[in-house]
Every structure is written in structure tokens, then in C-alpha cells.
Amino acid sequence: MSESDTRHNQSPLLIQCEDVSKWFESEDGAKLTILESIRLSISEGEFVAIVGASGSGKSTLLHLMGGLDRPSGGDVTFCSQSWSAMSDRERAKVRAADLGFVYQFHHLIGELTALENIALTLRIQGQSKSESEHRALEVLDQFNLSDRSRHYPHQLSGGERQRIAIARALVHHPRCVLADEPTGNLDEGAAATATHLLVEGCKARGAALVIVTHNPLLAAQADRTLTISQSHIF
């Protein structure tokens, strides 16, 4: 698919995949291709859903977009900077400043309270403890979770844990949020709440949102839906 076919609007480009491929070699030398010659662009503020069968490469593509993995071929750029050209330290710095991540499982730190888990995103950026916790409390209030600020993950429901994870991904006003099956482990009601907070939270901050999902109701809310099949994107 050409870049012109995948570009949704004329907003500044945020992420570009140029002929991106990803493959692995088995011990016997056999080549397993996950993605082949992927070309797509994500614009600032855009909401894109990526769908496809299990094992089709959706999560792999998301990891490549976020600089968490390197392509076997081609190049992925974020704000016109090639992830592959950056050092590990540079990639980590860009991710901490400009990206938010949400996964199917919350990945909260069990030894930290809800407040501390959210504030940690800002502490990593070098902000003070007081400022980080102040901003974390603001997001907790927006998410109607102020009364859970001192609770630990094991004291929260599954839906509450995922809402905390979303708050953590948004607290630093990222330019883009990458979400991998963010509602896949929730019941219908909790999934609807988490979806609303994630989508509206990105809109309020002008952040792009790229979601890998099997949920057709979630995908239907996106500006664009892309499908991965047989290592290609459509």
C-alpha cells in the first residue's frame, strides 16, 4: 500500500514506516517473515486502529513504531528521526518524553500506589516528587479515581488498574499513545469506560492514538482502520 493511500489527513506526520519488514531465522536457518514492505504514515492527532488475526504481526508493528524493536529491513521514523539511527539512550529519552504505552495487562508496579505509578512517568523525566504527584493527582481526579490514589494495584479492580495505566500513559502529555489490546482483559462495562478515557484523553491532549485491537466497537471509533494479513497491511 502506498503512503498516499495510508495518509489520512494533511496534519504534520508523526510516525512513518518506509518499506518496513521484520523476520526471524530459526535454528535450521528457515526464515519466518512477520511483516513485509510495510508503508504507512501516522499524522499528529490521528486515531488509527490496527486489526488482524492473532499472530499476524500487529503487536510487532506497534513495537517497531515505538522504537521498542528494530526492523529487519526498511526504516521507522518518529518526528522525522530514524529510531535505528538513535542510540539506546536517545530512544529511551524520546519514548519517555513523547510516547505513552498501554498494554492488555496493566504492568503497574505492585510496590507503588496508584499515585506513585502515575507520577513515576514524570519522575523519569526529571520532575520533582511534589510536582509529579501534583500532576498525577490532577489526572486521577479527571479519571474519577482520586479516592484510589493511595491504593496499591492488588487493592484495585481490573478496570481500575487499566484506568491507572491509561492515566500513566497520558500524564506527561505525549505526542502519541500506542495501545496494544487495551481492553482485551476487561468486561464490557470496564472496557467501555477505559476506551472512553483513552480516546478522549488523547483528543484533549492533541495526541495521536494507535490501537491494536480485536474489538470491532473500538476499531469503529478510529479515523482509520488498517488490517494486517499475510505480512502486509491494507
> Domains in the chain and their CATH numbers?
44-70+86-233 (3.40.50.300)
Give 5's pLDDT tier (boundaries 50, 70, 90): very low
How far is residue 166 from each of residues 12, 96, 140, 197, 231, measured CA to CA in Å? Answer: 25, 15, 10, 8, 29
d(CA 218, CA 213): 7
Q: Is 24 helix (H, G, I), strand (E, B) or coil?
A: strand
Question: Kind and range of the H or E element at 92?
Answer: helix 88-98
Q: What is the pTM of this model?
A: 0.90
Distance separating alpha carbons of residues 148 and 160, to the nearest angstrom? 9
- Express each pLDDT in 94-144 by its tens digit: 999 999 999 887 789 999 999 999 999 999 888 999 999 999 999 999 999
CA distance 191 to 163: 10
